[in-house]
Amino acid sequence: MSGTSSFSMKLKVGIVGFGPFAQFLAKTMIKQGHTLTATSRSDHSEICSQLGIKFFKDIVPFLDSNNDVILISTSILSLSQVLSSIPFHVLKKPTLFVDVLSVKEYPRQLLLQVLPEEADLLCTHPMFGPVNGKDGWAGLAFMYERVRIRNEDTCSSFLHIFQNEGCRMVEISCEEHDKQAARSQFLTHTIGRMLSEMDITSTSVNTKGFETLIHLKDDIVKNSFDLYSGLFVHNRFAKQELNNLEIALETIKEKLLDKVTE
């Protein structure tokens, strides 16, 4: 049975890490009729009660509340710490764990280490967020790897959340994701951060291309610096791409300086 099967039921989804991205996903899941609970380092009980989500300060009653899916949406940098604080033995039934971290080999490996053998694992990366997904998810990429799936109905139902919204479903390995994301997403964030570091602002002689870059920069810096650092620290392909970017700049510089002396 494939991950994009047609089976779809309403799920009980427990979210670990209720930051900006989890809040963004939660709204669509609720709209679709799923039942949500959440736990997080900080107290998000107010926003949760507005959304109709039960918020747990303590992890034990959260785990005890019979979720079909536990969705991990903490920052990349805090994943290891967050996982080590979860008493998995409290779980009452085999549960599907899903992570949405923007790097993939790292959570795949960590989760396979700490999850109970009976838990299923789906590693995913919705390639959008509150900024570029604010007008709907249609056509936006949703990447996933079915790492360890035995309960096909639950997995299929979870994937349906994104299929229903019109996402482009991309089933690739975590390794392939990280390779490609280092050359695309990480690069994009790095350019946004460089422009922000340079404090670029609108001029009276803006070209269209420059305006595109200003918007890009403004969008990128809405993401936490933790998210950006995570793209680098826990994607083993990112360092090479950062080097490639440096080399590209040096090459361009040399070509320009050659023209000066010509």
Please identify, using beta-carbon distances, which residue of 59 and 242 lies nearer to ligand NAP: 59
Rounded to an integer, what is the distance from CA 153 to the centroid of its chain?
Answer: 23
Among 24, 88, 210, 237, binds a second copy (CB under 8 A): 210
Using CB under 6 A as the binding criterion, the count of chain residues that bind ligand NAP stands at 26
Q: How far is the CB of 167 from a second copy (least distance, A)?
A: 12
Using CB under 8 A as the binding criterion, the count of chain residues that bind a second copy stands at 60
CA-to-CA distance for 56 and 70, rounded, in angstroms? Answer: 14
Among 30, 47, 194, 221, binds a second copy (CB under 8 A): 194
Please identify, using beta-carbon distances, which residue of 81 and 212 lies nearer to ligand NAP: 81
What, of ligand NAP, a second copy, none, does residue 122 touch, CB below 5 to 8 Å by kind? none
By CB under 6 A, the residues from 211 to 240 that bind ligand NAP are 223-224, 226-227, 230
Interface ranges with ligand NAP (CB under 6 A): 17-22, 40-42, 73-76, 78, 81-82, 100-102, 126, 129, 223-224, 226-227, 230
